[in-house]
Amino acid sequence: MHLRSEPSILYFGTPVVLIGTENENGTYNLAPMSSIFWLGWRCMLGLSALSKTTENILRTGQCVLNLPSVHQAAAVNRLARTTGSDPVPAGKQQKGYRYEEDKFGIAGLTPIAAETVTAPRVLECPVHLEAVLAASHDLATDNAAQRGKIVTFEMRITRIHLDESILMQGQDNKVDPDKWRPLIMSFQEFYGLGNKVHPSTLAQIPEHLYRTADIELARE
C-alpha cells in the first residue's frame, strides 16, 4: 500500500563525488556532493549558491570530479560538515558546519595535478574527470523562498583518468561494472553496489554508439 508522503530530501541514491577546485590564493578546495548525473561527456551538478565550490567554479570555470569507491568512504566522511567558506554561511552554521582550510589534509587524501585544468585530482579515487564549465543555471527561480540558493552547472569533460583496476580486461576505454564499486549516498547514508540482479538488454548495445563530439573536442 502506498501512502502519501513528504520527505524533506529525495536522495534516492546517487554516486558520491569529491569536487576539486582551486581557491583564489592557489590552494585547493575539496567538497563531497552527490547531486550529479551524466549524459555522454557532459554532466550536471547541483550545488549551494553560497558554497566555496560554487564560487571557485564560477571564477575559474573548471573543476575535477573525483569519484571515490567504497574504500574511500571514511575519507569522504571526514569532510562531512566542513566548508571552505570563511565565514561559514548561516545555513551551514545551522547544520553544524565548520571552516576548514586544508580539506585534503583532514580527509587524508593526496592532491595531484590535472592535465587540462588547474583544479586538483585526488590520487586515491579510482576515477578522475577533468571538466570545464559550459553553462550555469539558477534553480527554483519560480519560487521566491528558494530563488538564488541553488545553482546547477553543466560541465564538459576534458580528460578522464581511470585506475587500471576497474577496467575491462584488455580494454583501456571501458569500465568493468563488476570491478567498479562506487560510493553511493542514499538518504544521507553511505552504501555500495551489490551484485548484478538481472541481465540488461541495454548492455548489448556497443558503447561506441554512445560516443559524442565532446570526446574529439577534449583532444584539442
pLDDT tens digits for range 106-147: 999 999 999 999 999 999 999 999 999 999 999 999 999 999
Q: Three-class SS of residue 93?
A: helix
C-alpha cell at 27: 590552494
Is the confidence at residue 220, as pLDDT, over 90?
no
pLDDT of residue 39: 95
How far is it, in rounded angstroms, from Cα 48 to Cα 32?
12
CATH classification of the domain holding 167: 2.30.110.10
* Total domain count, the chain: 1
Say whether pTM exceeds 0.85. yes
Range of the domain at 100: 14-218
pLDDT confidence band for 199 (50 / 70 / 90): confident
140 within a domain of the structure (yes/no) = yes
61 within a domain of the structure (yes/no) = yes
Residue among 63, 168, 49 at smallest CA distance from 114: 63
pLDDT of residue 136: 97
5 within a domain of the structure (yes/no) = no
4 within a domain of the structure (yes/no) = no
C-alpha cell at 30: 575539496
Can you say how many angstroms the Cα of residue 74 is from the centroid of all Cα atoms in its chain? 17
> Which residue blocks in the chain are alpha helix, DSSP H?
52-60, 73-78, 90-94, 103-107, 213-219
